[in-house]
Chain A
């Protein structure tokens, strides 16, 4: 074998005075970085294998470990960055497509960070959410053109028959993450948290584990091209169905769960033999047009007797506005749009880093287009693709979303350190792995608790921001771009976002 030109990405610093050679790090690192030498009674490290996940440093009882980016530096070159050079090395050595996990980490502009929120001063009052009612409840689904009510005696009754709706107690859902790409304990944490918070989680294209059927009312079940685990009970148990066309991390690329991750349990949930590759190619070969999409939407509606919403998830790509218009007209009850920075368990690096558009632009363009066409009421919009904070939620909704999906943020709440190595199946935090030794590190009670805490905190913050603007219902924020101002954006960006620059009235 020829010499590898790759050097370590991280530097493991062990404070020898603090280290008591207890070997916690040895047991915790699934990448076998730490090795105990009984002769010396010392722990050594092979840092070439370190992925920078901080598991060892977090668990070290004497805090003897510090993980740093390698001090090894290439000659400065603004064009040939170290990551580009090492990518070439890796491909020259393997001849393979480079894989990565999580969302795009490249320094494209993050428009959320160039948008500022408004607050009421003097001319209209702000609202104190701690003492006054504040409504975050959100309904996902098709809304009627008009609502008829009939008054009989003292009772008002809705005359219009509403299309099926999902009720969210806060405008946030957990985005699609399949059992297979994440561990059972991670799925269970999400399901429990969704139930406790009155929101929904999403099965991804991995089917539904038998023990999670009890969370059906809090479950969105995905139907992707490979149809893994899609059968009657699955369709009937979920609160909503979602046709997966694409995802932000890899628009135009399908799902591929490698055979080694198809454990016995995963195989049962996906309804495929153990150890086989689960291929979910990007094209659905029964969908080549909006009419074909309509056919699948209505197949699912027929199969569930029009009792639940059927949504469509797409990646944010250049022509997202007309695409979304087509999806709305095809009869979808909601459209989930996943932006450039959306996460994934595995994607070719080149795709993740180069394909798609940011969610801020996509959601603004779609909301605007649907309004122009007079069909915005026919469909709900869920924005996805790196919603990192409650401020991002508020900005996404003001740009036109009804609600947001969070994936990466939910994983981070459960302990993910964004090492981007999900595709290796060796997640030291027990999330993106099926190895029983690793999965037991995530206690589903604690995972659920941390997720519930995150949602509680974000919901309180959203109320504070709404109150500050003088708004008492999230409904009134949707598409309310007058509450947004841009900083550091050029005219075209402001136009696409549909917002004014800071200082403009």
Chain B
């Protein structure tokens, strides 16, 4: 430990011990924590709520940054499932891929994933008062992207797709009743859930996209303008009450 900088070698450590060390470091005022040799340990950063920067080398396990509120986590590798589970604030930057249900129910903060993500990413994400969550995915996503989405912003850039290749996700935005999804490139109608519609982008959309793409480009050393030069699709919910007419009273 030096100048608020801690190093923890996670080699062979059980997640419980690792997270206890992490909590100890944060409680002792660490400003920057470097975790080395991380290999599948779960819950890293769970419920941490101080502005601290955590650099992870290796592959963190499921539920990275669960319930987290404030820290900034940078992963030099891939993340597994449920990264950012019910996160309230903070930032996660993943220099690689992320698994299923990335960003489950996040209510605030930002998640940037350089490459592809798994199924049901952005499920249940919601916004509340001044809290608005953002998920930016550099690659492409699997089915049920943005399921039950109730707020927030989901951006999928498709940078891992080859020229001419399209997003293959289906049931995008199923059950969506709030928020907005931006996909770089086109999606066919059959790929969309019944509760969403594709609408043209307006000036405000481009301003928001530019800001997010610039952040993404800065994290991963890409050219923002080049990314923004392609057409985008905007998806919004048809109604904030998709199931309002289902019942007999």
Contact = CB atoms under 8 A, between A and B. Distances in A.
Interface of A: 90-91, 93-99, 225-227, 230-232, 235, 256, 258-259, 271-273, 275-277, 279, 281, 285-286, 295, 298-299, 302-305, 348, 423-424
Given A97-B248, A271-B128, A298 B107 contact: no
Contact of A302 (B43, B82, B241, B246): B43
B240 A231 contact: no
B136 to A, nearest CB: 21
Interface in B174-188: 175, 177-178
B47 A279 contact: no
Contacts of B124: 225-227
B23 interface: yes
B78 interface: no
B105 A227 contact: yes
B140 interface: no
A355 B47 CA distance: 37
B62 interface: yes
Residue among B100, B175, B246 with most chain A CB within 10 A: B246
Interface of B: 15-16, 19, 23, 42-43, 46-47, 49, 62-63, 66-67, 69, 81-82, 85-86, 88, 100-101, 104-105, 107, 120, 123-124, 126-128, 131, 144, 147-148, 150-151, 175, 177-178, 240-249
A286 B81 contact: yes
Contact of A277 (B88, B131, B241): B241
Given A285-B101, A302-B43, A303-B67, A279 B178 contact: no
B243 A279 contact: yes
Residue among A298, A302, A423 with most chain B CB within 10 A: A302
Residue among A235, A272, A275, A286 with most chain B CB within 10 A: A286
Contacts of B19: 302
Contacts of A90: 248
Contacts of A93: 248
Contacts of B43: 298-299, 302-303
Contact of A299 (B46, B49, B147, B177): B46
A232 B88 contact: yes
A320 to B, nearest CB: 27
Nearest to A256: B243
27 contacts: A91-B248, A95-B248, A96-B245, A97-B248, A99-B247, A226-B124, A226-B148, A227-B105, A230-B86, A231-B88, A231-B107, A232-B49, A235-B47, A259-B240, A259-B241, A271-B128, A272-B151, A273-B150, A277-B242, A279-B175, A281-B148, A295-B62, A295-B82, A299-B85, A302-B19, A302-B66, A303-B46
